[in-house]
Amino acid sequence: MMKKPFVTKAQVEEIVKNFPTPFYLYDEKGIIENAKAVYEAFSWNKGFKEYFAVKATPNPVLMDILAKQGCGFDCSSETELILTSAVGASGQDIMFSSNDTPAREYVLADKLGAIINLDDFTHIDFLEKTIGKIPETISCRYNPGGVFTMSNQIMDNPGDSKYGMTKDQLFEAFKILKAKGAKKFGIHAFLASNTVTNDYYPQLAGQLFELAVELEKETGADVAFINLSGGVGIPYTPDQEPNDIAKIGQGVHEQYDKILVPAGMGDVAIFTEMGRFMMGPYGALVTKAIHEKHIYKEYIGVDACAVNLMRPAMYGAYHHITVLGKENDPCDYEYDVTGSLCENNDKFAIGRKLPKIDKGDYLFIHDTGAHGYAMGYNYNGKLKCAELLLREDGTVKLIRRAETPKDYFATFDVLDYSAKINRILDN
């Protein structure tokens, strides 16, 4: 199997006339079609809403594309709340799912009317003291502990996760929140990351639906929504079969009809907060081969580095690479594809079979639309690259300019060095 880029070599050659590599490129058409497929998959649920995980790709232009398809936004920090508000979202189009939360962030979330998703039992008291009340609509994050298995395979280990409340804490939280004036409740859980299986959401849904029935019965709380969170993954390697969102939606529907409807809870809304699935395949890091090195291994040096995409360096994550214009050439060369950081793990690929790469070739690094640009940093004084949007009509729009040295030095403005640095830059 092959992964096909959403842009050609000829298109990139035109783009670089205005925007030098490296840059992130996003596929507007793909983003829209995928969002429509998600809403179609859950159209059976009247209250369904996808709260896009802003942390995955915090760019207002991309967020606005999703908002036009009906998406809300899941935020985890003050700046993400500010960004979401700037896009035009307000009220219950915003979910605030944070942990170890500073007081000022709860204040802003409340001011925007966001649904607050409490990560910890002790945050009930903290929230009430901070904003002077308990909101009428509130959500709690659940952690079942132990390990999460599917088909006898361990998928993840919630018991080692810092997130969420135990079952006993969750029940007690609902009772206390109800006594303090909460009227509508939500349950939220995230049990496994980047699952490439159509069974994850349905299995998680079944567990949460049973929990919801038990919670309503014991506490009398009105469970208004159940948030399946994220965890629906994408196939980073070409041999993986992509998730089928229609089958996933149908699987959740079957659990809903089996568990919630007979319990008289057929009005519960289903929420999701996917980041990777919504945006991952529709973004790419485009970089140019600028050096080759022949020592104990064969190396190709590109003009991007881990500052631009840190997942391979941080996690050993696989991202498929297409050499544009050589899609049909045999992959009979073996390379480490490296960046220029003073770190030996600054490699986009290790021992990767690729076509012969010549200096000047453009490499399309797939599936970087989520947790790509967003995780960037400035080690070695490296600067973040631009973000571009390939629009439905084939034109390209700059949606975030590349950083400049002035951006890097801007926070030194409290020091005497600032004037010296600016004189150097201006010359």
Confidence of residue 2 (pLDDT cuts 50, 70, 90): confident
What's the pLDDT score for residue 1?
A: 62
Q: What is the pLDDT of residue 412?
A: 87
- CB–CB of 404/413 below 8 Å? no
3-state DSSP of 46-74? CCCEEEEEHHHCCCHHHHHHHHCCCCEEE
Instruction: State residue 425's pLDDT score.
Output: 73
Q: Which residues pair with 53 in a beta bridge?
A: 74
Flag whether pLDDT at 226 surpasses 90. yes
Backbone angles phi, psi at 343, to 5 degrees: -145, 130
The residue with tokens 């500010």 is 82
Q: Please name which of 260, 331, 336 lies closest in space to residue 293, comparing C-alpha atoms.
A: 336
pLDDT tens across 349-362, in order? 999 999 999 999 99
How do residues 243-262 score in pLDDT, each as one tens digit?
Answer: 999 999 999 999 999 999 99
Mean pLDDT throughout 107-135?
97
**Which region holds residue 319: left if phi is over 0, alpha if psi is between -120 and 50, else beta?**
beta
- Name which residue leads in pLDDT, 230 or 418: 230
Please state, rounded to an integer, the average pLDDT across all residues of the chain. Answer: 95
pLDDT of the residue at 150: 63
What pLDDT is stored for residue 419 in this prediction?
A: 75
- The tokens for 296 are 């104990």
pLDDT at 153 over 90: no
Poorest-confidence range of 151-155, 268-272, 294-298, 393-397? 151-155
pLDDT at 156 over 70: no
How many whole angstroms separate alpha carbon 35 and alpha carbon 153?
Answer: 30
Average pLDDT of the segment spanning 387-410: 96
Sign of the CA dihedral with 67 first, then 71, 76, and 81 last = positive
Mean pLDDT value across residues 370-392: 97
pLDDT digits (tens, 9 = 90+) for 75-107: 999 999 999 999 999 999 999 999 999 999 999
Sign of CA dihedral 237, 241, 245, 251: negative
Is it true that the peptide bond before 312 is cis, omega within 30 degrees of 0? Answer: no
Average pLDDT over residues 319-348: 97
> CB-based contacts of 85: which residues, under 8 Å, 6+ apart?
94, 112
Share of the chain above pLDDT 90, in %: 89
Per-residue pLDDT for 152 more than 60?
no
Give the chain's domains with CATH numbers: 27-280 (3.20.20.10), 283-411 (2.40.37.10)
Query: Do strands 386-390 and 396-400 pair parallel, antiparallel, or not at all (unpaired)?
Result: antiparallel
The DSSP H or E segment spanning 228 is: none
pLDDT value of residue 415: 76
Q: Which two tokens stand for residue 29?
A: 């058409």
Q: State residue 160's pLDDT score.
A: 75
What is the rounded CA–CA span in Å between residue 37 and residue 53?
A: 17
CA distance 123 to 103: 10
Strand 283-294 and strand 269-272: the pairing is unpaired
What is the β-pairing status of strands 362-365 and 153-156?
unpaired
Is pLDDT above 90 for 417?
no
Residue-level pLDDT at 165: 94
What does the angle CA 73 – CA 267 – CA 114 come to, to the nearest 5 degrees? Answer: 25
Query: Residue 155: which pLDDT band, with cuts at 50, 70 and 90?
Result: low
> What pLDDT was estimated at residue 170?
97
3-class state of residue 108 by DSSP: helix
pTM for the whole structure:
0.94
pLDDT tens for 6-31 read 999 999 999 999 999 999 999 999 99
How do residues 170-212 score in pLDDT, each as one tens digit? 999 999 999 999 999 999 998 888 999 999 999 999 999 999 9
